[in-house]
Every structure is written in C-alpha cells, then in structure tokens.
C-alpha cells in the first residue's frame, strides 16, 4: 500500500500513501486502520531526525501547516492501481494545504493567469458580514442573509439580502418593532460574484438591484 497514488471522489490526485497505520488487536491480526499523507510522514520513513527537522523548518518558514493527514480505511477503496478516497480535496481544508496556498497567493496573481483556478467551494460563514462592492470598489452593503429554495434533491441559492433590514430579517425581528420599516437590498444569485468570499463583487449596476423594506 505504501506509495500508492491516492485520488479523491472527483478523481483528482491528492498525494501518495506516505504511511500506513495499523491497529493491534488482542484476538486477531493487526488491522489496517488508516493511510497517512504528508511530507513529515514520508520523512519519518527515512529517519525520525529528518522528520523533526522538517517540522521545525515548516513551522518557521512555511505559511501553512504541513502536518500529516490521516485518512480512515473506511473512506478508501481500490480503484485499479490507485486508491480512491471518499473525500473532496477542494472542500477538505486538511488536504493539499501548501498547493492551495500557492494557487491563491502566487499562481492567481501571475500575469495572464486569468483566474483559471476559480474556487468551486465557498462556505456561507465566509460570506456573511462581508461588504459587497461594485466593480469600481464602491461599497453597497453587507451580506446579512442568504435565501435558498429546494429544487429536486438540491437546495439552490436564489438571492443575497444586504443592509440593516436583512440583518433584522435574519434574526427574525419583525417589522412591528420598527416604524418606519428598515430598508434592504436584494441581490439575485447571478448578480454577485462570490468566488472571492472575502470580497464579493456585483456583476451588475447598483440600479439593477431590488430595494425592499423589511
């Protein structure tokens, strides 16, 4: 199993089996419990001192942790000559940390990169509270509420609500406590680019947004 290529549930390469964890049992043979992925695990196979030195250098010089990731065998299955792991490498923050950092902070900033590696996973908590800006940098308001509807087996985002009225709406504070009603802006899903959740940007003029009083 050592050094076998690992792929995630989208058939993306996520590294190799740098280590294998065995569980010792009193009434049977050792059980393969997990696969470990990471440079420190690989270095430990060469010599423990090398692993310790690499850990110290990583803490001092690297922008992200390179600690090893343990993948339970319950997530693993054979897939030809590879091992398929039931994880999403883009969504799982433990995997490919250094590669993701390099993409965000180096590759995407290279001239001509054109944002090819646009993210496919965004966490809602990374959006809520962030200021929405126009393409020229004008602040329109903060995202306070996100609306979604069920379509088949999926829930799809249909709109983002901005402004103090949306904040009151999120906390279910009804309008009877506020006279006059508090305003909000409604941004359709296709009117907002959230590929950079720390800086959501309108794709349309402000005049195209719907104004409502909560």
Q: Using alpha carbons only, what angle is made at residue 167 by residues 139 and 129, rounded to the nearest 5 degrees?
A: 50
Q: Is residue 109 part of a domain?
A: no
Tokens 């010599």, located at residue:
47
Three-class SS of residue 5?
Answer: strand
Let me know whether 209 and 129 are in one domain. yes
Q: Is residue 94 part of a domain?
A: no
Domain count, the chain: 2
Instruction: Report pTM.
Output: 0.52
Q: Where is pLDDT greater, at 168 or 185?
A: 185
Q: How many residues are there in the chain?
A: 214
Q: List phi, psi (to 5°) of 6.
A: -105, 140
User: 77-89 pLDDT, tens per residue?
Assistant: 887 789 999 999 8
Whole domain around residue 138: which residue ranges? 124-213
User: 116-127 pLDDT, tens per residue?
Assistant: 445 567 777 777
Q: Is residue 20 part of a domain?
A: yes
One DSSP character per residue, 48-115 reads HHHHHHHHHHHHHH-SS----EEEEGGGEEEETTEEEESS-TTT-TTTTHHHHHHHHHTGGGSTT-TT
Let me know whether 56 and 129 are in one domain. no
CA distance 85 to 74: 9
């Amino acid at each position: 199993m050592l050094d076998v290529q690992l792929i995630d549930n989208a058939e993306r390469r996520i590294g190799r089996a740098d280590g294998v964890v065995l569980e010792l049992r009193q009434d049977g043979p050792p059980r393969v419990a997990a696969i470990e992925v990471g440079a420190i695990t690989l270095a430990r196979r060469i010599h423990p001192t090398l692993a310790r030195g690499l850990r110290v250098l990583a803490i001092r010089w690297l922008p992200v942790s390179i600690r090893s990731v343990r993948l339970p065998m319950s997530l693993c299955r054979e897939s030809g000559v590879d091992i398929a792991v039931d994880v999403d490498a883009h969504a799982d923050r433990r995997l490919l940390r250094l590669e993701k950092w390099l993409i965000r902070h180096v590759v995407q900033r290279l001239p001509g990169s054109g944002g090819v590696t646009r993210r496919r996973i965004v966490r809602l908590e990374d959006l809520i509270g962030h200021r929405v800006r126009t393409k020229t940098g004008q602040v329109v308001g903060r995202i306070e509420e996100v609306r979604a509807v069920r379509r088949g087996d999926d829930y799809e985002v249909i709109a983002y609500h901005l402004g103090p009225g949306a904040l009151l709406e999120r906390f279910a504070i009804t309008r009877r406590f506020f006279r006059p009603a508090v305003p909000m802006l409604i941004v359709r899903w296709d009117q907002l680019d959230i590929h950079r959740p720390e800086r959501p940007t309108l794709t349309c003029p402000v005049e195209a947004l719907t104004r409502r009083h909560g």
